[in-house]
Chain A
Amino acid sequence: AQSVAQPEDQVNVAEGNPLTVKCTYSVSGNPYLFWYVQYPNRGLQFLLKYITGDNLVKGSYGFEAEFNKSQTSFHLKKPSALVSDSALYFCAVRDDNFNKFYFGSGTKLNVKP
């Protein structure tokens, strides 16, 4: 069975500093990993995905994620945080049939000026 875990309920970072939002995964086959962001009163918005290839994946709004097979991790990163990055971030893994997503519990990112 597929699952992802987000060990931090909340991450606080100062504007301009690098940020990391952690995600670890457990899959029975190939990992197809995604990050979504949710702003208040908005739906989940796709940020980036790892399917195959380079371990460093670049996505929207300057975010990137590093796939690490040995540590079964897919951490979301950004070199310099913005106050507007404050939102709820979800890691997700695709199921074996490429149908549904399994989501993590979400991490609230607070970026302070």
Chain B
Amino acid sequence: EPEVTQTPSHQVTQMGQEVILRCVPISNHLYFYWYRQILGQKVEFLVSFYNNEISEKSEIFDDQFSVERPDGSNFTLKIRSTKLEDSAMYFCASSPRTGPGYEQYFGPGTRLTVT
């Protein structure tokens, strides 16, 4: 069964550094998402992406964040200058279509630790 994959599984970085989290969505999916989960808190929506542009973003997704689908298979989340509070588990998800009945398929997550 096709799966969403994410790399790396764990990333440690120093405050102020740039990080890029990578995701490979399921190949025939058209909608892509990033969520994050700070330890002990809810899974929160960050951004959705369709047709090579952001379709929606949350208030968390400020100018320090960006997303890209550089080559038709990868979907990346970049944090330009990391802060301590960016430490979280970041989940990528994809969906073939959007609509009430379509579930999103999630990757295993990247644990980002900012020191």
Q: Do A and B come from one complex?
A: yes
Please give the residue numbers on chain A whose beta carbons come within 8 Å of chain B beta carbons, in ascending order: 30, 32, 34, 36, 41-46, 49, 51, 90, 94, 97-106
User: Does B98 contact A98, Cβ atoms closer than 8 Å?
Assistant: yes
From B56, B58, B106, give the contact of A45 (CB < 8 A). Answer: B106
User: Does A46 contact B105, Cβ atoms closer than 8 Å?
Assistant: yes
Q: How far is the CB of A22 from chain B (nearest CB, A)?
A: 16
Q: Is the interface of A mostly helix, strand, loop or mixed?
A: loop
In the assembled complex, 25 residue pairs joining A and B whose CB atoms fall closer than 8 Å, in A order, are: A32-B100, A32-B101, A34-B103, A41-B108, A43-B6, A43-B91, A43-B107, A43-B109, A44-B106, A45-B106, A90-B43, A94-B100, A97-B56, A98-B98, A99-B48, A99-B55, A100-B45, A100-B56, A100-B58, A101-B35, A101-B43, A101-B45, A103-B43, A106-B42, A106-B43
Please report the C-alpha to C-alpha distance between residue A15 and residue B3 in the assembled complex, in whole angstroms. Answer: 30
Q: B99 at interface (Cβ–Cβ under 8 A)?
A: yes
List the B side residues contacting A45 at CB < 8 Å: 106
Q: How many chain B residues touch A (Cβ–Cβ < 8 Å)?
A: 29
Please report the C-alpha to C-alpha distance between residue A105 and residue B56 in the assembled complex, in whole angstroms. Answer: 22
From B91, B98, B105, give the contact of A99 (CB < 8 A). Answer: B98
User: Does B42 contact A104, Cβ atoms closer than 8 Å?
Assistant: yes
Please report the C-alpha to C-alpha distance between residue A44 and residue B99 in the assembled complex, in whole angstroms. Answer: 19
Please give the residue numbers on chain B whose beta carbons come within 8 Å of chain A beta carbons, in ascending order: 3-4, 6, 9, 33, 35, 41-45, 48, 55-56, 58, 91, 93, 98-109
User: Does A98 contact B104, Cβ atoms closer than 8 Å?
Assistant: no
User: Does B103 contact A49, Cβ atoms closer than 8 Å?
Assistant: yes
Q: How far is the CB of B95 from chain A (nearest CB, A)?
A: 10
User: Does A102 contact B91, Cβ atoms closer than 8 Å?
Assistant: no
